[in-house]
Structure 1
Amino acid sequence: MGLNQEMETRLQTLIRSNQPENRMKWLKEWKAQGKKVIGLMDIYVPEEVISAAGILPWRITGSWDDSDPHAALYRPEMSCRYCSHVLESVLSGTLDQLDGFVCIPVDDDFKRLWDVLHYLKKPPMTYIMYLPHSYSELTLGMWNKSILELKQVLEDWTGKTISDDALSEQIAIYNRMRGLLRQVYELRKRPVPALTGAEALGLVTAARIMPREEFSNELEALLPYLRERRGTFRDSSCRVLVCSEYLDNPAYVQLVEDCGAAVVMDEFDTGSKYFWGQVEVGSQNPWEALGKRYMDRPGTSRMENWTEQIGQIRDWVKEYNVRGIVELRQLYSLPLAYRFLIMKKELAAANIPYVSLDREYHLAQTGMLSTRVEAFLEMIKGG
């Protein structure tokens, strides 16, 4: 096997880490060492605190099956599909090895999911954090207090103290990981990006389920190969940015690319927004520095700074030479539905082509989505 083929095999193995047949590997290995694993659903839970407690923060991917019969007993059909498919994974026993679950109140759907898990004690420890809806000096102080409350909960649960030094060590590990992913995303600015959009999503979701140092070591080893690599696109000139939240199945991004687009940037909580922004090092109070980073980086639609979020999208459009934006809004995900009206108005004012399409959490209605994406791409190609 040639060197390039060996590196390509390693890259594809990393990209496919969060596929259903692979994603439990690191959870099981961590548990085999007698350590605990906490499941997460949102990017606002500060992973560094969990890692500093010697626990693996592991992003929960819901069932990708086309039905959720167990969850349907607890949740109405017209509710957040990600939450429903996560509950399906819990109730079907897929996530029995999780020791704990920490979430934030994204909306009432997330709160009700926590209610069910807490009532069923699946997993044994469940905790819901406070998160403000806006960012100010006052709310930052409240957010920092919430992080310290999480620290106390973890210390009480594990019987171990989380020191400032332990947190600072994890901040360095996570900053390294974020810096490496930013380098990869820089390679998406090229005329022919190093990775397809589907591959980039696979890479970032891998980072969220592996021990972060192990992931960073592998990605760093692959970077020289990535700098020479060219992604496979039908048309690399039809450059689009895809927006969504709780989208963890690369097949949705692949669908857009199969229609003839090159997805060169994303606005995903499972992508760019997960790793954008570093924690300031050298601060006398690493806890406050940590809290500030989680508020400073590009926000999700759950936060109310929608104009700033759209401003970040406009910046990415320029930086990545994007010709149009495809939004894949998960059904019944209310924060994105609220932001949509402002997105539509402001992107039209900026003359940025934009289409917003509803999708399921699991891969579904691919024919309808492909037809609408193809029509949008024909429009921007002819514009």
Structure 2
Amino acid sequence: MMMTTELKRTGLAGVEELYQRRGQRARELSEQGAKVIGYFCCYVPVEFFTALEMLPYRIQGGVNEPITEADAYLETIMCPFIRSAFDLALKNRYDFLDGLVVPHTCDTVQRIYDIWKYYRKPAYSHFINVPHMLQPSSYEFFKQELLTFRKSLEEFAGRKMTDEALTEAVRLHNENRALVRQLYDLRKPDPPLTSGVEILKTMVTGMGLPVLEYNELLRSVIREIRERDGGPGKKPARILIYGSVIDDISFIQLIEDSGANVVMDDLSTGLRGFWHDVEPTPDPLDGIVNRYLDKIYCPRTYRPQAETQEKDLDNRFGYVYKSAADFQVNGVILYVIRFCDTYELDAPDFKSYFQKKGFPVLYLEDDYSAGTLGQLKTRVQAFIEMIA
């Protein structure tokens, strides 16, 4: 299977080193001959890459780096995360990528596929149409989309993806998801055994590692946290964050420095892509279709509407409410990146739902920039003082 080289460093020290040198491991593997494929969002089946011994690399932005190149190509009233990621590409930060795979999660992500493909000219590129409505025909449509993607990736790899290799890739990524859930469970106690900063560093680090290496790293981190003395300490506020992309620790650090523990999240870059495993099926593709289409709860997907609004909101947000209760949360932060219509349209229902459940909710709209942290800090501190 895929790249079995052991990591030079493990545990939290290894996470810190890899986090500070994001992309370096992928670059090393690229120099050794591995094909590295960049992708956006949770809806790309990473098992395909692993089955063909490629490295999936989740593309990130850079909140600490001003956007200086992308504005010549992209309008300023679009997702600042996407603008930042493309800005890094224009600065050759992603020159180790051999290809780009983008799913249709929102219109901005769809458009960046065309723009990236036109201006960066990757050796391989593929767009996956992901249905927005969940109905019986959606599953067959998505299966045909993934069959097309599979054939396209096989042509680029120069060999077939066997069902045996795909089944083994599913096993490895299910193991990865289980380990991530174990890591998150370390924040259930009060005080939690690990911090939100440590969790996010680990998650972001894993975005650029082969699954075997990431699993090894996760096991070492979980073991170290369980065995060490001390942790973040008890704080009066236990926060859950709901939103899209947070791939830098600065915002989480701000919250935890303000007197709270971030004990849970439902983020595109957090637990959202790890809630559910791929169920074993005779044809491994069927399990992948069901998991990626039905088991990722993102506002971009519309599920069959329930008879009442209350039941509909339970269908949409009930899983977040359950995790808030399980992790003893007493405050919720709804974090939305500016110009994100998908989350902005969802925000009123989400806020109303959790307030009716008895949770104070802080709604924050951010520019995906370290320059806005001062403004956010004032509101976060006031919120924590209110619930503490």
User: Scaled by the length of structure 1, what TM-score is found?
Assistant: 0.92
Q: What CA distance in whole angstroms lies between the structure 2 residues aligned with 1:231 and 1:275?
A: 27
Q: Secondary structure at the match of 1:189?
A: coil
Which residue type is aligned with residue 330 of structure 1? I
Structure 1 position 234, deviation (Å): 6.2
Deviations 1:73-112 (A, max 9, x none): 1111111011101110111111112100001122221122
Whether the 8 Å contact between 1:277 and 1:296 is mirrored in structure 2 is no
Show CA shifts across 1:109-142 (max 9, x none): 1122111112124323221101011323221221
Q: Which runs of 4+ in 1 moved over 6 A?
A: none
In the other structure, the counterpart of 1:15 is 15
Q: How many residues align?
A: 371
Query: 1:365 and 1:64, CA in 2 relative to 1: closer, same or farther beyond 3 A?
Result: closer
Q: 1:29 is matched by which residue type in structure 2?
A: E
Distance 1:234 1:34 in 2: 45
Equivalences for residues 259-278 of structure 1 within 5 A: 259-278=258-277
For 1:85-234, what aligned pairs fall within 5 Å after superposition?
85-229=84-228, 232-233=231-232
Partner residue in 2 for 1:290: 288
**Distance in 2 separating the partners of 1:142 and 1:184:** 35
Question: Structure 1 residues 135 and 275 mapped into 2: Cα distance closer, same or farther (>3 Å)?
Answer: same
Distance 1:58 1:169 in 2: 19
**Mapped partners of 2:221, 2:335: distance in 1:** 30
- 1:347 matched to which residue of 2? 354
In structure 1, the partner of 2:63 is 64
After TM superposition, the structure 1 = structure 2 runs for residues 322-361 of structure 1, keeping only pairs within 5 Å, are 322-361=329-368
Structure 2: runs of 5 or more not aligned: 1-8, 304-311
Distance 2:255 2:342 in 1: 23
Q: Indicate if the aligned counterparts of 2:338 and 2:365 stay in contact, CA closer than 8 A.
A: yes
> For 2:371, what is the secondary structure of its paired residue?
coil
1:364 to 347, 359, 371: 371
For structure 1, which segment, 101-110 or 316-325, has the greater mean C-alpha deviation from structure 2 after superposition?
101-110
Tell me, yes or no, if structure 1 residue 279 matches structure 2 residue 286: no
Distance apart, 1:325 and its partner CA: 0.1
How far is the alpha carbon of 1:301 from its aligned partner? Answer: 2.0
Task: Find out whether 1:312 has 2:319 as its counterpart.
Answer: yes
Deviations 1:150-180 (A, max 9, x none): 1011012222101101100101111111111
Distance 2:325 2:362 in 1: 18
Measured against aligned partners, the alpha-carbon deviations of 1:172-225 in whole angstroms (never above 9, x if no partner) come to 111111111111111110112121111111111222210110111222233332
Q: C-alpha distance in 2, partners of 1:231/1:148?
A: 49
**More moved, 250-259 vs 226-235:** 226-235
**RMSD value, Cα:** 1.8
Map 1:69-84 onto structure 2 (within 5 A): 69-84=68-83
Which residue pairs with 1:4 in the alignment?
none
Inter-partner Cα distance in structure 1 for 2:251 and 2:133: 30
* Superposition deviation, residue 232 in structure 1: 4.2
CA contact (8 A) 1:40 1:60 kept: yes
Contact 1:249 1:362 in 2 (8 A): no
Mapped to 1, the partners of 2:230 and 2:45 lie a distance apart of 33
Aligned AA for 1:370? K
The 1:27/1:10 distance shift into structure 2, 3 A limit, reads closer
1:5 alignment partner in structure 2: none
> CA separation of 1:63/1:53 partners in 2, compared to 1, >3 Å: closer, same or farther?
same
Q: Is the 8 A contact 1:298 1:312 kept in 2?
A: no
TM-score scaled by length of structure 2: 0.91
Amino acid of the structure 2 residue aligned with 1:303? T
Structure 1: 5+ residue stretches without partners:
1-8
In the alignment, does 2:253 pair up with 1:254?
yes
CA contact (8 A) 1:193 1:231 kept: no
Tell me, in whole angstroms, the C-alpha distance in 1 between the residues paired with 2:138 and 2:294. Answer: 12
